[in-house]
């Protein structure tokens, strides 16, 4: 998708502005508060109802010098794109709604409305958003138009998924192999009986175990209390009579205490959760570094391709120039040959001419004197010679 032109009317202080890019890259420069960010806001507002920075409660309305809204204006943005070779015109208009209450002559402001158009055809908001999503995924559009969206606003899980889709998936085994500290996880993900699990699966298991452990920890005091209450009062009875029962209850209490301590030691799962976060951060870091290296390599390859394209283009220009010269020479040769044939025919025709002048005076009917006849022949031969000489010069 390429932007061909952009039109703004009454948009955040810009009364009227038209930018024509014809699908090429353009730079918009200016001092602070001259409208650079406003142009970016116009594009992102047109596409997905958000300003460049993603702020909530954004309004495209124009404010006066006192910071108050200017009423009764139509605030609009229109952009012309090319999508798969087809021209696409998107337009959005934001305006106030004024209505007269019954029994009054004065209009009252009641809210705002937004009109949407695709190729000058009015459409509903849902249809408009669906068409925009077809030509440009919302997340991709935000990444391209908002420099803070990917590193700050985007959820880390979505950010990791995007990085992995660009750089390639890094397996759990690769991550574990990158650090000796993570080696215990190798046995964990292999599971029991060869049933393998992922780090994400183990994180879910750990969270579930932590929940159960916390519940068990809460129940242990009451279980100890129940066991204590179940122990009979033998203060007035000879101790040896109930010695066996006392030992059994004390053993049960000791076992419960042991379980409580074991469950408290289950905090190791929290450490695994922290380790998981650390692993995810390392994955993102390594993926980012890989993407940077890949971008650098692509940039170098692109530069080499541009240089090669320049060499090919220069060679084509030189070839076309030489080819044009050859065609001109061939055309000149063909013309010269045609002229040579014509001149040769003309030369033969004139060379074959003989003098057939009059030998009798047309006035008196007497024979002309011999010297007159010779003069006429000489004049004829001189004219013939000059014509032949002129043909030779023309053909040389």
Give 15-58 pLDDT, tens digit per residue: 999 999 888 888 888 888 888 889 989 999 999 888 887 788 88
In a domain, 235, yes or no: yes
Residue 93 placed within a domain: yes
Mean pLDDT of 241-266: 71
Q: Give residue 258's pLDDT.
A: 77
Which pTM value belongs to this model?
Answer: 0.46
Structure confidence at residue 266 (pLDDT): 57
Place of tokens 């024509």: 20
Q: Do 28 and 122 belong to one domain?
A: yes
Rank 53-62, 179-188, 279-288, 297-306 by mean pLDDT and report only the highest: 53-62
Please indicate, yes or no, if residue 297 is contained in any of the structural domains. no
Q: What is the reported pLDDT for 121?
A: 95
Of 357 and 4, the one with more pLDDT: 4
Q: What is the pLDDT of residues 134-149, one digit of tens each?
A: 888 778 877 877 777 8
How far is it, in rounded angstroms, from Cα 377 to Cα 356?
A: 9
pLDDT at 74: 94
> Does one domain contain both 40 and 131?
yes
Query: Mean pLDDT over all residues of the chain?
Result: 81
Does 143 lie in the same domain as 199? Answer: no
Which domain covers residue 382, as residue numbers? 353-395
Please check whether residues 186 and 271 belong to one and the same domain: yes
Residues 205 and 120 in one domain: no
Task: Return all residues near 220 (Cβ < 8 A) that are at least 6 apart.
Answer: 256, 259, 260, 263
- pLDDT confidence of residue 136: 81
More confident residue, 89 or 165: 89
Say if residue 111's pLDDT is above 90: yes
Same domain membership, residue 177 and residue 56 = no
- Do 183 and 129 belong together in one domain? no
- Band the pLDDT of 200: cuts 50, 70, 90: confident
Write down which residue in 149, 180, 214 finishes a domain. Answer: 149
- Taking alpha carbons only, the member of 273, 274, 261, 276 closest to residue 213 is 261
Per-residue pLDDT, 233: 60
For the segment 380-386, the average pLDDT, to the nearest whole number, is 87
Shared-domain flag, residues 185 and 244: yes
Instruction: Single out the residue in 245, 275, 305 at which a domain terminates.
Output: 275
Domain-embedded: residue 113: yes
Same domain for 271 and 367: no
CA distances to 366, 376, 384, 386 from 359, rounded to whole Å, are 9, 10, 20, 24
Structural domains in the chain (count): 3
- Is-contact 373 359, C-beta < 8 A? yes
With residue 264 as reference, give the H or E element that holds it: helix 243-264
307 within a domain of the structure (yes/no): no
Residues 177 and 132 in one domain: no
Residue 263 has a pLDDT of 65
Q: At what angle do helices 268-351 and 199-230 cross, to 10 degrees?
A: 170
Return the pLDDT at 334: 78
CATH of the domain at 127: 3.40.50.300
């Amino acid at each position: 998708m390429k932007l061909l032109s952009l039109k703004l009317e009454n948009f955040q202080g810009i009364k009227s502005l038209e930018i024509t890019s014809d699908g090429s890259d353009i730079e918009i420069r200016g001092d602070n508060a001259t409208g650079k960010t406003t142009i970016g806001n116009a594009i992102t507002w047109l596409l997905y109802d958000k300003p460049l920075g993603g702020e909530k409660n954004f309004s495209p309305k124009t404010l006066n010098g006192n910071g108050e809204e200017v009423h009764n204006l139509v605030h609009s943005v229109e952009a012309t794109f090319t999508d798969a070779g087809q021209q696409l015109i998107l337009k959005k208009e934001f305006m106030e709604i004024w209505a007269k209450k019954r029994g009054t002559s004065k209009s009252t402001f009641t809210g705002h409305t937004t009109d949407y158009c695709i190729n000058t055809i009015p459409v509903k908001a849902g249809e408009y958003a669906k068409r925009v999503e077809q030509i440009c995924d919302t997340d991709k559009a935000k990444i391209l138009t908002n420099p803070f969206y990917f590193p700050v606003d985007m959820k880390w899980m979505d950010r990791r998924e995007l990085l992995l889709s660009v750089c390639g998936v890094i397996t759990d085994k690769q991550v574990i192999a990158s650090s000796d500290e993570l080696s215990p996880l190798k046995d964990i993900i292999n599971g029991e009986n060869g049933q393998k699990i992922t780090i994400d699966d183990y994180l879910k298991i750990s969270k579930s175990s932590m929940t159960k452990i916390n519940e068990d920890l809460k129940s242990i005091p009451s279980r100890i209390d129940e066991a204590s209450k179940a122990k009979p009062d033998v203060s007035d009875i000879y101790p040896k009579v109930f010695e066996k029962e006392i030992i059994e209850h004390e053993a049960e209490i000791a076992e419960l205490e042991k379980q409580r301590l074991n469950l408290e030691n289950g905090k190791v799962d929290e450490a695994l959760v922290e380790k998981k976060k650390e692993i995810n951060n390392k994955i993102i870091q390594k993926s980012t570094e890989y993407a940077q290296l890949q971008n650098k390599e692509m940039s170098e390859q692109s530069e080499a391709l541009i240089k090669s394209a320049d060499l090919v283009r220069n060679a084509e220009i030189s070839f076309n120039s030489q080819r044009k010269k050859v065609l001109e020479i061939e055309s000149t040769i063909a013309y010269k040959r045609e002229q040579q044939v014509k001149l040769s025919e003309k030369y033969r025709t004139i060379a074959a001419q003989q003098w057939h002048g009059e030998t009798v005076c047309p006035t008196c009917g007497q024979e002309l004197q011999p010297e007159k006849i010779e003069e006429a022949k000489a004049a004829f031969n001189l004219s013939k010679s000059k014509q032949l000489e002129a043909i030779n010069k023309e053909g040389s």
